Amino acid sequence: MRQSEELAPDKEMDSYLAALAPESDVETTASGRRFGNAQVLQLRLQLMANEQLRELAEMRQTSPTALAQEWVMQRLEWEARQNNLV
């Protein structure tokens, strides 16, 4: 097999993969990209805050990501109520 043939896109494989994962429900973990119907955001914390988040998450038997997400959702709900957006 020649090198140009090896690098050529496999249209059959692309079609098969597209059928398995339709574009209307694309999932990714790239920053700012869609993940199902959600958007992935990065959160940078100072080392001390990150450690505190990890400890609290461990005490609650959850992940730091899940705990941070829960807090953000609670705060957004609170903000919406305070600003009569609900």
More confident residue, 28 or 72: 72
Please tell me the predicted confidence (pLDDT) of residue 43: 87
Element (DSSP H or E) covering residue 34 = strand 34-35
| DSSP 8-state symbol, 33 | S
28-64 pLDDT, tens digit each: 555 555 567 788 888 899 999 999 999 999 999 999 9
Contact 26, 34 (CB under 8 A): yes
Q: Which contacts (CB < 8 Å, 24+ apart) does range 2-10 have?
A: none
Question: Residue length, the chain?
Answer: 86
| DSSP 8-state symbol, 35 | E
Nearest residue to 1 via CA among 44, 62, 10:
10
Please tell me the predicted confidence (pLDDT) of residue 25: 47
